[in-house]
Structure 1
Amino acid sequence: MAGTSERDEGGNREAMRDFRAGNDTAREAAAWALRLFCGREPADEEEITLHSSHQTLDGMRRAFAETWEFRQFMDSVDGGRRRFGVPPFLLRPPRTDIAWKHEQPTLDEPVSQVCTGSQFKEPVYAEIAEALSVHAHPHRRTWEMAYITSVLASHGLIGLGRRAIGFGCGRERIPSLLASRGVEVLATDEPASDSVGQARWRGANQYASGLGDLFHAQIVHLDDFERLVEFGAVDMNDIPASLDGQFDCCWSMSALHHLGSIEKGMAFVEASLRTVKPGGFAVHTMDFNLSSNGDTLDNGVHVLPRRRDVEALCAHLASLGHQVLPLNLHTGYDAMDEVVDLPPHGLPHIKLYVDRYIITSFGIAIRKGA
């Protein structure tokens, strides 16, 4: 037995030497591991170099076992769903001096917060869903409508004499809901074009080309809708100065992460405040990266803002004299908060994969300074 142990130790030492960075054996093993764990050929020479840098076999095994492709493969094999575990970067206080809290978020007292399971169980969620004439099921898009509505209602911005502008409205229901409560609304979508992105929205029935695309008869009477709602084509990357200071509030729902880059999305949030009177509110929802505060998707059709991007935006807006409602990145204690929805998507649909990242919806609310 002793001899066998010595031979094993010698073999392990040789394996450790073989898997040092730059060794041909290590490069061959890296390519083989990509095929085995990720189910694909190496993307390029750089990827092989990266994965051949592991110092031991165990290090290589652990690295590949953590890849998103291998995790998704394991999820599909056992028929289960991956459970979300809160990463440490979401738990620490912000490095900048911004308003912050860490407790289960609520729609009764909304701040700048993530979508969580407990919010779907609040009476206010059911009330808003009924007003919107939608099912009160645990779906993050319905939560986004409820969040925007709750923020506006909480600050007295839904009522006779109020004016609101919505960006990238598509065929959403918020304009009809606001009009049913006497709010004058300018609902906008991007100017018509032949772009691939717009073709995709048209194909998914999520693009508005005129006022009729925004009318929901279950929510508002047609006479009230036509009297109170207007439609306009507005590029969210270039908001015209003619809209400055015209409204009590503005909103966008799940639109700013489609503007081409994280930088453009954050710039839009700041620019949207131009349209609001001092003391008014801007309320926006977006996809939010729960997996990483570093690596993410950027410069593409669908980008994923990170905590660092949101914190930088909050700090910048505060420096300009605006008040961002406290940042609350608590991801919830409900059993639904552990579920990561996988295709074909079902319910609860609170967290899901986009590419290799687990994401959810996040809402930010800003009161414009004087």
Structure 2
Amino acid sequence: MFGFRRRRRPAFGFARVAAWNTKVLGAVLARQCYEAGLAGPDIPLPAEPEHIGLAGCLCRQADLESPWLHHWCGALGMVPFYHRKVWEMAFVAQAIWEAGLLAPGRRALGFAVGREALPGFLAARGLEVLATDLDPADPRAARWIGTGQHAPPPALPFRAVDMTRIPRDLHGQFDLVWSACALEHLGSLRAGENFILEAMRCLKPGGIAIHTTEFDLDADGPPLSRGGTVLFQARHIEKLGRRLASAGHRMRPVDFDPGAGLLDQFIDQPPYGAAADRWPLSQPAETPHLRALVEDRVATSIGLIIEAKH
């Protein structure tokens, strides 16, 4: 009598299957939007920027499908995919342009720039740019070096600066300062707020600060206030606005509307990005990443624009 050997199948827990199915379905939704000509690699990229009266706001699907963002994708060498990092870079660029600071002779200071395209883009437009990041010898830089996100911009003035200890000789020297998705990694909400207040000292009277950071869409839950990544909530942003006002600065009004697009409801889960080596199946192309699960919180990106006192 012949025996039958059952073939062993890989074991997949429910949570893992659910997470994988979520990524597949998200990729399908994004692909349908790309095929409809709303965003993606084949979308026309306007040659000229468009004034929209940008103020503080959350990352939303509608922005990724808007001509103003598509223009900056072309200018910065990005593809308008449904990813909040694309939105962040475009938000900063739009805010700089609308402030009239995308012009030769202006001085710009970037914090924790890593491998961003912004320093080189601004320098090519005639701005005097000082790019900063953690000293590579600082143990805290190991996380970013290990993921390829820490490198001095080539052929640009670079200075090692700790965002929690901004040197005084940088005070009052710049027309604009910016940081993109960096201040939430300073260890606590308070440290992030303090950085924003201290960075204002680097501006000339009437200068502009532009920051993006991670934002908890739950307005009332307990905050993720300490750790390697913290999440600001609406009440923290409002408190920051009051602190800035007491120092004589003005944070532009913030629209906390999360958006009503289908992809505004999609929540990406770890592993993020190209994860084919960590999954048993090939990674679906361009899973939307406007919302992400950070620990047990649903997070997105928020952009802030702050005017220095005159």
What is the TM-score of this pair, normalised by structure 2? 0.79
Q: 1:136 to 1:80 in 2, by over 3 A?
A: closer
- 2:197 pairs with 258, 270, 279, which one? 270
Distance in structure 2 (CA, Å) of the matches to 1:143 and 1:167: 18
Name the aligned partner's letter for residue 137 of structure 2. S
Match of 1:142 in 2: 86
Q: 1:127 to 1:356 in 2, by over 3 A?
A: same
Per the alignment, in what secondary structure is the counterpart of residue 321 of structure 1? Answer: coil
Per the alignment, in what secondary structure is the counterpart of residue 71 of structure 2? Answer: helix
Tell me by how many angstroms 1:323 deviates.
1.4
Match of 2:143 in 1: 200
Alignment of 1:97-246 (within 5 A): 108-195=52-139, 197-208=140-151, 210=152, 214-215=153-154, 226=155, 229-246=156-173
Alignment of 1:271-310 (within 5 A): 271-310=198-237
Name the aligned partner's letter for residue 147 of structure 1. F
Tell me by how many angstroms 1:240 deviates.
0.8
Distance in structure 2 (CA, Å) of the matches to 1:237 and 1:292: 27
Name the aligned partner's letter for residue 246 of structure 2. S
Which protein shows a greater Rg? Answer: 1
Q: Is the 8 A contact 2:64 2:80 kept in 1?
A: yes
Distance in structure 2 (CA, Å) of the matches to 1:77 and 1:349: 14
Q: 1:238 to 1:77 in 2, by over 3 A?
A: closer
Percent identity of the aligned residues? 37
Distance in structure 2 (CA, Å) of the matches to 1:251 and 1:146: 13
CA deviations on 1:68-98 (whole Å, 9 max, x unpaired) are xxxx949818934799xxxxxxxxxxxxxxx
Distance in structure 2 (CA, Å) of the matches to 1:120 and 1:107: 16
Alpha-carbon RMSD: 2.2
Distance in structure 2 (CA, Å) of the matches to 1:241 and 1:289: 32
Distance in structure 1 (CA, Å) of the matches to 2:260 and 2:98: 25
Distance in structure 2 (CA, Å) of the matches to 1:160 and 1:148: 18
Q: Which runs of 5+ in 1 are unaligned?
A: 1-71, 84-105, 216-225
Match of 2:297 in 1: 357
Name the aligned partner's letter for residue 18 of structure 2. S
Tell me which moved more, 311-320 or 139-148. 311-320
Distance in structure 2 (CA, Å) of the matches to 1:293 and 1:181: 43
Distance in structure 2 (CA, Å) of the matches to 1:109 and 1:318: 21
Tell me by how many angstroms 1:308 deviates.
1.3
Per the alignment, in what secondary structure is the counterpart of residue 157 of structure 2? Answer: strand
- 1:343 pairs with 270, 284, 301, which one? 270
Distance in structure 2 (CA, Å) of the matches to 1:78 and 1:234: 40
Distance in structure 2 (CA, Å) of the matches to 1:77 and 1:250: 38
Match of 1:369 in 2: 309
Tell me by how many angstroms 1:356 deviates.
0.2
Per the alignment, in what secondary structure is the counterpart of residue 340 of structure 1? Answer: coil
Per the alignment, in what secondary structure is the counterpart of residue 249 of structure 1? Answer: strand
Q: 1:107 to 1:75 in 2, by over 3 A?
A: farther
Match of 1:44 in 2: none
Q: Is the 8 A contact 1:244 1:275 kept in 2?
A: yes
- 1:331 pairs with 244, 258, 262, which one? 258
- 1:250 pairs with 177, 185, 196, which one? 177
Q: Is the 8 A contact 1:107 1:125 kept in 2?
A: no
Tell me which moved more, 348-357 or 327-336. 327-336
Q: 1:107 to 1:294 in 2, by over 3 A?
A: farther
Match of 1:19 in 2: none
Distance in structure 2 (CA, Å) of the matches to 1:78 and 1:176: 37
Distance in structure 2 (CA, Å) of the matches to 1:172 and 1:280: 22
Distance in structure 2 (CA, Å) of the matches to 1:138 and 1:108: 20
Tell me by how many angstroms 1:139 deviates.
0.7
Q: Is the 8 A contact 1:107 1:122 kept in 2?
A: no
CA deviations on 1:101-149 (whole Å, 9 max, x unpaired) are xxxxx98321111100000111111110111111111110111100000
Q: Which runs of 4+ in 1 moved over 6 A?
A: none
Q: Which runs of 5+ in 2 are unaligned?
A: 1-13, 27-49, 273-285
Match of 1:67 in 2: none
Tell me by how many angstroms 1:292 deviates.
4.3
Distance in structure 2 (CA, Å) of the matches to 1:199 and 1:78: 30
Q: 1:272 to 1:236 in 2, by over 3 A?
A: same
Per the alignment, in what secondary structure is the counterpart of residue 279 of structure 1? Answer: strand
Tell me which moved more, 72-81 or 308-317. 72-81
- 1:76 pairs with 13, 18, 25, which one? 18
Name the aligned partner's letter for residue 292 of structure 2. L
Tell me by how many angstroms 1:299 deviates.
2.2
What is the TM-score of this pair, normalised by structure 1? 0.67
